[in-house]
Every structure is written in C-alpha cells, then in structure tokens.
Structure 1
Amino acid sequence: MRRHILKKVITLFLGLLMVSGTQAEAQDDMTKITFFVSYIPSVQFSPIYAAIENGYFAEEKIEVEVEHSFNEADGVDRIAVNDLQFGMISGEQVIVARAAGKPLVYVMEWFHRFPVGIVTPADSGITEPKDLVGKKVGIPGPFGASYMGFRALLSANDIEELDLQVESIGFTAPEAICTGQVEASVVYVSNEPLTIQNNCFEVSVIYISDYVDLVSNGLVTNEETIKNNPELVAGVTRALHRGVQFVIDNPDEAFELSLKYVTDLPESEYETQKQVLLNSIELWKSDHLGATDPARWETTQEVMLEIGFISEPLDDLEAAYTLEFLPKHDE
C-alpha cells in the first residue's frame, strides 16, 4: 500500500518537474524587448497595451517592457546605437536622425493624420489659417513636431510667420488660451482642446492635416536590427498592427485594458480620457493601416529644410522608411 502511494507521489512529482521544465523552456524561447514611448502612460498608447494584454506579442514569442520618457531624443539616440531596438518616434525625428548619420528606420505608420492643430475660442471668428494673420498665436517653441506642423500650415496657405504675433509659451496652451494670454495656440488635438472645453469654454480647431500631409508617429527600429533579426522586426510590426486595429474596433475594451498601465488615472477622469482615446483613434484610422506614403516623407523633408531643421536633403530619404514588414494586404 505504501509502495503504491509512494509511486503515485513520485509520478506526480516528475509530472510537475516536466510541466515546470516546459514552462521554463517556453519562457527561454521569448525574445525580450524594451519598447520606447515618449510622454507618460496614457490611453493614447493603448494599442501597445492591448497588444501585450491580448497576447499578440506573446504569439510572436516576444516579451515587451514599455519604457515611457519625456526625452524623445534619448530614445532616438539609444535606438540608433541598438541599445534599444524599437520605439514610437515621430517622422521628422527619423529624418533629423538620419541627417546626423543615425540609422533609424520607420517600419509602420501609427498616426495616419498629423496630431497637431490650432485651437481658438469658438467665438473668436478664427476658422481657417488666413484668420490667424495679425493674431497672437502661442507655440510650445521653435522645435519639434508641433512647430514643424505650424510652419507647414503657414506655408501651405502662403502666410509668413512674421504675419502673426508668435509667442513661445511652452506646453501651457490650455492655460494660455483660457486666460487670454494668446488668441490661438498650437496644440495636440487629441487632448488639449478637450482640456480647454472642460475647464473654460467651447473651442474651434484648425487641423493641420486638413491642409498639409506630414509624416507623424510610427514604429521605428534601426538598420542593424533589420539586417540581423528581420523576423523580430516583422513580429513586433504584426503585433502592434493588430493592437492598433483592436483598439479601433473595440475602444471601450481597449480603455479598460489601458487602466492597468495608466495607474494614476482617477475615476473622475474616465469619461474625459475615453474621449481622448476616441479622438486618437480618428488619427489612426486608414484604409491602409500602417502603410506610410512616400509623398508624405517628401513633403515633411521640404518643410524641415524650409525651417532649418536640416541643412540639406537626405541622399537616401527612401531608406528612412520601409513597407517590408507590414501585413501583405496593407502594403
């Protein structure tokens, strides 16, 4: 009897060892990556969170840690030297990086509409770019995607910056508009107009993407990773692509998934942040999800040359991006 019980115990123990060994092997098969994202955890990054929580990365045998940072330049530099392999980086930063010899490559377009616009009080009478002439307009400063978009908007409408009263206000657009410090301001359209409406008054928004087509944020890697591990690049691209599509199709569920990552969001802010997510989704939608348009890169480079972000055009602008790793039906 005792021998029979002992045999069962040994069999159970061996079975547990086998299961444990199998799990350890499965864990060892996973490729660990750090995914760089500028800014703080936000529902605006829900496609990454959804791709993790829904197992899209795991199905590609990829384990992801998300690193949020306000320092996009640091992310660019670390991806360039292969300290990091992947990040969400804006298109103009890819061009700036390649102009400096940093071999970044943009492999999937996340934002199909440029996320910057001009916000004004709804009763200001400012409804189109020409109405900005002579007005006091706030900008974060003469740098980054927001300034590039601002200058592209002016150029597309034959307006000179000197035709406006431009004031650098940092990232304080809601306060500057609400207090009347400026009559209009450059903003990120997903959230800042909503903040002003919730705290002050109704607003109007001039969307830069209605006037000029610029490259915005996307999935970026480097030439070394593409050369040495194209399967990893393809896997990350597929997983994120699925994440974006999932959020577009299931915004309520995506919002709930995001709460695990946006840990400091008070419940009183849920409705506002749900609207931020819906606003963001409108910027992501496309009939060719993930595919970037070469014409956008040409336009973006032209604007960057005009405003001095780069001193000469890239010899190999086409090398700054690729459609190679997208799901085939989206190329």
Structure 2
Amino acid sequence: MYNIYPQNVFNIVALKESGIEKPEDLKGKTIGVYSLTSGTRQNLLILLHQVGLTEDDVKIVETGISNFAPLLQGQVDATTATDTGLYLAKQKGLGDVNIIEVKDYLNIPSDVFVVTEKTYEEKKEELKRFVAAYRESAQWMLENPEEAAKLAKEFAIDGKDENINLEIIKLRNASSVSEDTEIKGLGAIDDDVLQKGADTYQQLGLVNNQLDMSQVMTEEFLEAEQ
C-alpha cells in the first residue's frame, strides 16, 4: 500500500584488485551475505539471475552484518551490502572498491508497507492516517535533512554522530524518490517493476506461486492525500 524505498539500495562490493567489475565476474567466486534469509542474499540472487547465473555458479557464505572484515581479510571475493552499510564501511577505511548496484539491473523496491487482507478490510481509517503520517514525515525529512540529523542524534540509538546521520539521511532520501513519486507523490508504486520482481522471485524459487501483483496493490491511501 506504500512504496517506502522505490530505489533498490543493495549492492555487491569487491576490492579493486579482485577484477570483479560486473555481475558476470562473480561466477566461481565466494560472496558474503548477512544471512541466508536476508535481503542481501535475495538481491544477490536477483542480480545473478539478470545475467543468466544461478546460486550454483557462486559460493555464498554467511558473514553477519560485519561483512566487510571477511572481504578485507580475503575470506570472500565480494560481499553484499546496502548503501548505508557501504557508506559506514568507507568511513572506517574500506578503501577503493568496485561496486555493482542491483538497481542497475532490476530496480525493485527495497521496502514497502504491506498488510493482510483482513487488516486492509477492517482498518482502512487507521491505515489512511498511518500512511498520511508516514508520508508527511518522509516529505519533511526530504526538506529538512540537517534538522533530521540533529533529531537522530537525540533519539536514535546509533545516531551519535550528526555528520554520519546527515549522510545516511541523504542516502535514504535519495532512495525514497523516483519518477513515479515525482508524478504521484511519495509512496507511489510502479506496478510493472513490482510484477517483474514477483516473477523473478518465483523463477528463483523464493516464492512458490505465480503472483499477480495488480490484485494485491492499492494506492487508495495515496490518492486520498492528493
């Protein structure tokens, strides 16, 4: 019912000297993911799928969220990350790396708000208010990133550095907008992209059934705020 991040924020990172510059170069390589149930693995599989590779063409290992240490120590040839994870690693001295961004191959949303059919039918007024409040806060953060960074320093557990807060907010702001949001406003859903994502998930075996996303998407809460 709401597209939080229409821009895909996942990437594959390799050291410059590895020679890994494009998805095809990952064949036969060892690649780190946060966990086998994480978005990092799913998006790695999506990336491989786009260039005709499968999970069998690489070796995937769980590294946890401290995934750049194994990369620097040579335990993996490449590692998966998010845009913010990569930014923080660079701040800690990651150095020169090659970056393959999943969005350059299939730009499926990183996060969306989803509810059950029962909740949708029974709590439309609550959902309408929730979407309106979230959308307003996201728009405020787009317009006031410096102030948001100050608030994060006060309220976020890991937000003690205001400069880092600001850079992360800028990254999240950038992932919140798209061509669709320019037309329909924040939260707009690209039906075609989401369907391509669902089809890819089925082809990869991440979901069992073929999904018709047009049957389960609604922008009525966005339209109510226009």
* Same fold per superposition (TM over 0.5): yes
Given that residues 120 and 126 in structure 1 are in contact (C-alpha distance below 8 angstroms), is that contact kept between their aligned partners in structure 2?
yes
Q: Which residue does 1:142 correspond to in 2?
A: 36
1:1-331 correspondence to structure 2 within 5 Å = 107-263=1-157, 265-266=159-160, 269-287=161-179, 288=181, 289-314=186-211, 317-327=213-223
Structure 1 gaps of 5+ residues are 1-106
- 3-state SS in 2 of match to 1:278: helix
Identity of aligned residues (%): 23
- 3-state SS in 2 of match to 1:276: helix
The alignment's TM-score, normalised by the length of structure 1, stands at 0.60
Shift of residue 196, structure 1, vs aligned partner: 4.2
Cα distance in 2 for residues equivalent to 1:301 and 1:202: 34
Q: Choose between structure 1 and 2 for higher RCO, CA contacts under 8 A separated by at least 6 residues.
A: 2
Shift of residue 231, structure 1, vs aligned partner: 2.2
From the CA coordinates, give the structure whose radius of gyration is larger: 1
AA partner of residue 326 (structure 1)? L
Cα distance in 1 for residues equivalent to 2:14 and 2:224: 42
AA partner of residue 311 (structure 1)? N
The total of aligned residue pairs comes to: 221
Cα distance in 2 for residues equivalent to 1:150 and 1:187: 10
Cα distance in 1 for residues equivalent to 2:124 and 2:189: 19
The alignment's TM-score, normalised by the length of structure 2, stands at 0.86
Structure 2 gaps of 5+ residues are none
- 3-state SS in 2 of match to 1:325: helix
Cα distance in 2 for residues equivalent to 1:264 and 1:312: 39
Q: CA RMSD in A?
A: 2.3
